[in-house]
Amino acid sequence: MTGSAELRDVTDQSFASEVLASETPALVDFWGDHCPACRQISPILKQLAADYAGRLRVVKMHAAENPATAARFGVRAMPTVLAFARGRVVGQLVGARPKAAFVELVDRALAAPAAG
């Protein structure tokens, strides 16, 4: 698949329903203003959202504007990308990384076993 998708914003208020309760695995990009690395990974995340459409949700959360969720998951540096599957964190990347690292994170989320 070619092209890229826009990333949906989630907030402290919508995080539980949009990510934790989702049947679809998700990547959450915790980003901030004045963060060059956040801008650097944005095209990679948009490409992954397009490539994995229907199998993976890729959303973004402004960490400073949503401090409760960022604190809950120990986000202290931007960008932090957390992979969620079935309501739990299954992987994490901090900082700018190559696309291959994000693909590996996606694969981990898609392969996560059901909670039992």
Go through 74-93 and write b for each residue having 16 or more CB atoms within 10 A of its CB, e for each that does not: ebeebbbbbbbbbeeebbeb
- Which of 4, 5, 35, 46 does the annotation list as catalytic? 35
- Which of 26, 38, 48, 83 does the annotation list as catalytic? 38
Q: How many CB atoms lie within 10 A of CB 20?
A: 13
Catalytic residue at 38? yes
Q: Which of 23, 21, 32, 26 is nearest to 7 (CA)?
A: 26
Catalytic residue at 76? no
Do the beta carbons of residue 65 and residue 30 sit within 8 Å? no
Catalytic residues: 35, 38
